[in-house]
Structure 1
């Protein structure tokens, strides 16, 4: 089939290999447990309550997952006001989303150009058919006609197959990223509330401390 499709089969096959590699890599990278580890905010809250939140732990959180990178940014800015913490988290979130969308543009490009390559193969095949008809003065010799028609059909089928698969997974990963982003936003808001509430409790405790003056 590759031989029948002609030289245009080579870019279509190359595109299919690249698309397959991207699909496998994104399936691995976008696992929920890798992006949003369970009980991460609860662990941070425990460390804050116990006074065990050290810079080394914040750096470790940042390296473990995409959510950890966002929360670590908020923890590094926890001394700021609530709105400033949210701004820093949103900025980190944009960077994380950009990393999560890595290679998706390539996958989308493959989904777009594969049917065009198939269409080009169809045109080239039909040119061969009409050239054979013109040169032979009719349709008496079926071999050249069959070769051109075979090239037209094979490249079209191959291009459409690659495009359909690439487009399906492109849309799937886009939807999965959107779902993960929503969940990361929820976790980030929880941590901002934890930091804000902890600061409020600390302020109340400071206000209630005795001044040391005799009654």
Structure 2
């Protein structure tokens, strides 16, 4: 049978029972990928512009308006800065601690399902390899049966069994490669967001500390 003329269902059936868990892996990987794309798009903001607008309010001691800007902004950095702004009149250490506590909630939300995506990228080719090994075992069993029954065994019998067994490896790699690419992309984006959050938090702490210090001197 010509591989390139086979339908997807024919290839799936020829691959054997381990094609099912590989298919499930592909479905889960696709679902996680779509969820992460939508989530990262939803929380995407201009961090510099957002931080500038918050600091502009704080320059005029409009703490409530600064908090309001954070509440209206759907992004992890907004929630972290809000935690610091609420502690506006507290010490530098208390402000930092408040934002660190907020980050303990926000960072896991950003990293949600990334470990699952990495797991799928790792186990998919292993499932494919397992399917290939079990398929080759079946192929050699068929050849053994033919040999013991004195039926002629042709090279085609062996080759036919092997190429069908290799289908699971192909399927596993087809799932693993794009999943691994997606995983690395999301890790890169999440790390970039975390770095931006840390920079924004540091700038806010420095501003509040300096601004509150100047205010106290004027008093």
Query: Shorter-chain TM-score category?
Result: 0.7 to 0.9
Write the distance in 2 (CA, Å) between the matches of 1:189 and 1:78. Answer: 14
1:61 aligns with 2:70: yes
Aligned to 2:5: none
Aligned to 1:121: 131
Q: Structure 1 residues 133, 83: CA separation in 2 closer, same or farther (over 3 Å shift)?
A: same
Aligned to 1:194: 207
Match of 1:169 among 182, 188, 210: 182
Write the distance in 1 (CA, Å) between the matches of 2:118 and 2:194. Answer: 20
* Per-residue Cα deviation, 1:88-121 (whole angstroms, up to 9, x for no partner): 2122223211110001011011011101110111
TM-score normalised to the size of structure 2? 0.83
Shift in Å at residue 66 of structure 1?
A: 0.6
Aligned to 2:80: 70
Shift in Å at residue 36 of structure 1?
A: 5.3
RMSD: 2.4
Larger deviation: 42-51 or 67-76?
A: 42-51
Note the residue ranges of structure 1 that are not aligned, 5 or more in a row.
Answer: 207-215
1:134 aligns with 2:135: no
Shift in Å at residue 48 of structure 1?
A: 2.1
Write the distance in 2 (CA, Å) between the matches of 1:79 and 1:51. Answer: 11
Query: In the alignment, is the contact (CA less than 8 A) between 1:61 and 1:68 conserved in 2?
Result: yes
Write the distance in 2 (CA, Å) between the matches of 1:41 and 1:30. Answer: 19
Q: How many residue pairs get matched?
A: 205
Write the distance in 2 (CA, Å) between the matches of 1:143 and 1:60. Answer: 71
Match of 1:150 among 163, 171, 182: 163
Larger deviation: 159-168 or 137-146?
A: 137-146
Shift in Å at residue 21 of structure 1?
A: 1.9
Aligned to 2:113: 103
Aligned to 1:180: 193
Write the distance in 1 (CA, Å) between the matches of 2:162 and 2:57. Answer: 70
Write the distance in 2 (CA, Å) between the matches of 1:61 and 1:156. Answer: 49
TM-score normalised to the size of structure 1? 0.84
Query: In the alignment, is the contact (CA less than 8 A) between 2:126 and 2:172 conserved in 1?
Result: yes
